[in-house]
Structure 1
Amino acid sequence: MQILIPIDGTDASKRALDFGIEMAVQMDGNLHVVHFTNKPTDATETILDDARTRLAAANIQSEPELTTLTIDVWNADRVGEEILDVVNEHGYDHVVMGHHEDGAVERAVFGSAAETVLRAEAVPMTIVP
């Protein structure tokens, strides 16, 4: 099983990564951890370092990938579409994503990358709260 885990540094994302690691171990799967950003910063490296630490603790030899998007409008729907492009391009069997509760206004304005991927019904997915 090929598992894609998009991360963003939130607590929900960290829980999703932990869940995906356990899933891969239990199912003898392969992980691909990716972080999307429109501009790499020190926070980007902190997010990737945390992922590396979690992967190493589980004895998984996978290197998180940094995908940089150059777009003017940065919103969750756009990130969700990029995740779907990666799924289609590489043929992942499963996506594991974190989803944190937002207020109704934030969800209406920004959407949710996890909701975009889920609604596309392009790949089985686990959403970790």
Structure 2
Amino acid sequence: MALDSARMQILVPIDGSDCSFRALEFAADMAPRYDASLHVVHVTDSRNDATEDIVERARDVLDTHEVEDDPAVHTDVSLDFRPSNRIGKDVLTLVEEEGYDHVVMGHHGSGAVERAILGSVTETVMDAKRVPVTVIP
């Protein structure tokens, strides 16, 4: 995907959760205010019916907000015990490779035990401090 370097580029990673779709709604409202381009990605270990449902739901949000983008699916077969750390790294790789200026992400607000075991994609991206991140609960 070739990004327009003259416009702000916003990336919205989605995982199918309600908070990720709240982040997408927020970003769809935000993008026109900044004359920004909005790009949506879903990171998964395999493309299946659930993936297609997530992509279709994202298309519906984009269509409602008249945003011209087709949600992308990034497949990473190396997702393992701590998939959120891997997904966070995949998001950061996309930020660097594609030149995104801003990331808008949802956050589940999980507890300390869940974060210690599973990690958090949002925390991985924020902790890297490579790009501004807006977190939507």
Question: TM-score of the superposition, structure 1-length normalised?
Answer: 0.97
Partners of 1:89 and 1:33 in 2: CA distance: 15
The corresponding residue for 2:4 is: none
User: Partner amino acid for 1:98?
Assistant: G
- The one-character-per-residue Cα deviations of 1:51-88 (angstroms, maximum 9, x if unpaired) are 00000011111100011111151511110001000000
The corresponding residue for 2:54 is: 47
4+ aligned runs moved over 6 Å, structure 1 = none
State whether structure 2 residue 31 is matched by structure 1 residue 31. no
Partners of 1:72 and 1:60 in 2: CA distance: 30
Identity of aligned residues (%): 50
The corresponding residue for 1:103 is: 111
SS in 1 for 2:130: coil
Which runs of no fewer than 5 residues in structure 1 stay unpaired?
A: none
The corresponding residue for 1:22 is: 29
Q: Tell me if structure 1 keeps the 8 A contact 2:79–2:86.
A: no
Q: How many residues align?
A: 129
Q: Tell me if structure 1 keeps the 8 A contact 2:21–2:106.
A: yes
Question: TM-score of the superposition, structure 2-length normalised?
Answer: 0.91
RMSD of Structure 2 on Structure 1 (CA): 0.9
Which runs of no fewer than 5 residues in structure 2 stay unpaired?
A: 1-7
SS in 2 for 1:96: strand
- The one-character-per-residue Cα deviations of 1:12-32 (angstroms, maximum 9, x if unpaired) are 100000011111021111011
- The one-character-per-residue Cα deviations of 1:65-119 (angstroms, maximum 9, x if unpaired) are 0111111515111100010000000110000000002122111011100000000
Q: How does 1:1-129 map to 2 (within 5 A)?
A: 1-73=8-80, 75-129=83-137
User: Partner amino acid for 2:16?
Assistant: G
